[in-house]
Each structure stands twice: as C-alpha cells, then as structure tokens.
Structure 1
Amino acid sequence: MPHSPPPVPAKLLELLKDYPDHIEQLQRALISVSDGRQSYAPPFEAAVWLLEDCLSAFKSEARAEIDAAVASGDPQAIERAKEKERLMSFARSSNIGLANLSELRAYFEANMR
C-alpha cells in the first residue's frame, strides 16, 4: 500500500506560505528520500540535509535578488528583497524553520523501516 509523501515541516509551510514553488521544491526533496533516490544516509538525516540544502539555496537566491534590486536603484524592490532574505534566513534557522522536525522524524520512523 503506497504511503503519503513525507510532510514538509509545519513551520516551513507557515513561513513559506507566499512561496508555493519553494514549498513544492522542499516536498520533492523529501519525496526523493522516501522513494529511495537518496540513500547515502539514514532517511531522516538525509531528509534534514536536503531541507537544509534547499533552504540555503533559497537564501542565496534572495541575496542575489538584493544585489539586483540595489543595482536597479528601486527602494521598494530593495526592501522586498531584504524582507525575503530575512524570511529565508528564518526558514533555514535550526531555531525557527527547522526547530521542530518531530512529525518528519515520525514519518520516516514509521515508513522507512
């Protein structure tokens, strides 16, 4: 019987609610662990590493948006880009976005034996 995909952590869903493409990318990364495409580490640890990698990439992309906004000289674009970078920093933080991974851990413990 097929099981549901691994859950994107609730705090990340909350933080990234305005970025559905980012949420989808996180979901795809988690599915790659649950379907065995990522087998270099125990599943939960691999999932956390992939989440961290994705979130780091989102933060880097936001920094590039700041640079582009600064180059354009548009104060509103600069402020939006800075806010996005702050949000991505929060999402990547082990104290905020990655603080409670109990649901994800439970998923892998129940489905990846």
Structure 2
Amino acid sequence: MPSAPLPPVPQKLREMLEDYPDCVQRLQESLGRYVGNPSCRDPFRGAILELQGTLEALSAEAGNELAAAEAAGDTGMIGSASKKGHQLFTAGWFVFEMVDMDDLWEYFRANKGAFK
C-alpha cells in the first residue's frame, strides 16, 4: 500500500481555532494516527469521526478548565475558558455538518490509492 502524506486539518478549523494552536496540533495528530491505521471503509468519513472525537475530548478539557476557573473565581480565566469552549463547540458543529471540509475531501480523493 503506498503511503500518503499527512492529511491537513481543514482550513476552516485552523481559522476557527487560530488562538489555540495546541488544539490544531492535537487535531493534526489525530488525523495522522487515523491515516496510519484507517478503520473505516470510507476513509473520509472515518477522518471526520476522528476529528469529532478529538474535538469532543478538547471540549471536555475546556469544560474542566472553565469549572476550575469558576471554582477559583478567576474572572479572566473564566472568560478565556468560556471563549475556548465556545470555539471548540462551533468547530465540532462544522465537522459534524461537514461544512468547509473540502481540503480534507480533496486529500482523500487525491490519495485514494493509499486507502484500499
């Protein structure tokens, strides 16, 4: 099986999460793990599911950050954690609805020989 380059984190997600490069990096790592061992007959759909799972984990972590900030009464951190949680939720919705995932789709179309 020919090896394919790593798939891109969709541009729309990178834009939405530009203030959270660690989140973009985690999404990239999850896509890299997925293409190393695709578990779905439809690799694009499998990658979407992988992104959804990673965004769910990141959202849960943001919720924990918010709870900790609220417990500490740190208004600055509350605002920051709340914004991060909102951005992750919105990003998750874009992935769920497969909005602006054209670059990821194109990756799988261009590298279809690597996923048979």
Normalised TM-score (structure 2): 0.84
Q: Which residue of 2 aligns with 1:87?
A: 87
1:4-83 matches, cutoff 5 A: 4-35=5-36, 37-83=37-83
Measure the CA separation in 1 of the matches of 2:48 and 2:81. 26
Comparing 15-24 and 92-101, the one that deviates more: 92-101
Letter in 1 for 2:91: A
Aligned-pair identity in percent equals 35
Aligned residues: 112
Instruction: Measure how far apart 1:25 and its partner are.
Output: 1.3
Provide the C-alpha distance between the structure 2 equivalents of 1:32 and 1:63, rounded to a whole number of angstroms. Answer: 25
- AA at the equivalent of 2:56: S
SS in 1 for 2:94: coil
CA apart distance, 1:105: 1.0
Cα distance between partner residues in 2 of 1:111 and 1:84: 33
Task: Mark the runs of 5 or more structure 1 residues left unpaired by the alignment.
Answer: none
**SS of residue in 2 equivalent to 1:94:** helix
If asked which structure has higher relative contact order (CA below 8 Å, sep 6+), I would say: 2
Normalising by structure 1, report the TM-score. 0.86
Aligned in 2, Cα 1:97/1:79: closer, same or farther, shift over 3 Å? farther
